[in-house]
Amino acid sequence: MSFLSPLTTSIHNPRLCLLNALRANAKPIMTFLGLPSIRTAQLVAQTGLQGIIIDCEHGHISDDAMHGSTAAIAAVGVSPLVRIRMTHGDLIKRALDAGAHGIVVPQVNTAEEAGRVVSDAKFPPQGRRGQGSAFPAIAHAIDIPTYMRTANETIITCLQIETKEGVENIDAICDVPGVDMIFIGPNDLALSILGYVPAKGEEPEFIDAIEKIVAAARKHRKWVARLSNDGASCKEHLKVFDTVAMSYDVRAIQNWYTAELRTARDASQ
């Protein structure tokens, strides 16, 4: 079955910052948000990013905080995505009903799992998502009937590949209609393939895995993304990837204070 999706849609909603940048091949940059604060969400959204991934998998984000951060990010004109904890349909529904412009689903290992995610993310007839929330239309700056008509082809369904099994099945996963983006989680991928974190970046099996994921995404015309630790890494990764997520709000705060305290206490200066 094939159907219109964010990869093929002709719909243009100026509020969908990340989707518009991806379709223009503008190499958008995202980040992860792990702190449960509307104010943090607003501050990070005002930095020039095109997307912010609200991390309900590893971050300190409750359901309430996810709703608040989604609304705050969308109101600034940046695309909120939600990384859910697992592939369960109720988590997908909650994220999309909050107004997420996309979902990021961790630990997808088979085409069957990918198909279930797509089904849970799409309204009928493409899927089984139910309707009942007024909030997503607000986050998309449209009315509810328009949201119902356009959601299936504008909401980004992004799957994380971060295990050896996922790499082995990547071609079949990318072949699933409705999968829009593949996101490489390099740390969990290294842990699965190499048995340690972080990867040095020169291990042949790790390099081969990343190249295999990118090749499958390109073959099936899916967007492909990854985590980048800093601006320099982003610049290099964007030569290959369609978008990257630059670091994490928690890490950014830690790194800034660590660096500035080192400067403040350096007796040689």
Integer Cα distance of 27 and 243 in angstroms: 5
Radius of gyration of the chain (CA): 18
Using DSSP bridges, classify how beta strands 156-161 and 223-228 pair: parallel, antiparallel or unpaired. Answer: unpaired
Cα 17 to chain center, whole Å? 13
**Is 140 noted as a catalytic residue in this protein?**
no
Exactly one of 58, 60, 88, 140 is catalytic; name it: 58
Distance CA 223, CA 214 (A): 9
- CA-based angle 53:57:61, to the nearest 5? 75
| Rounded Cα distance, 70 and 228, in Å | 22
CA 12 to chain centre: 20
Beta bridge partners of 227: 245
Q: Which residues are catalytic?
A: 58
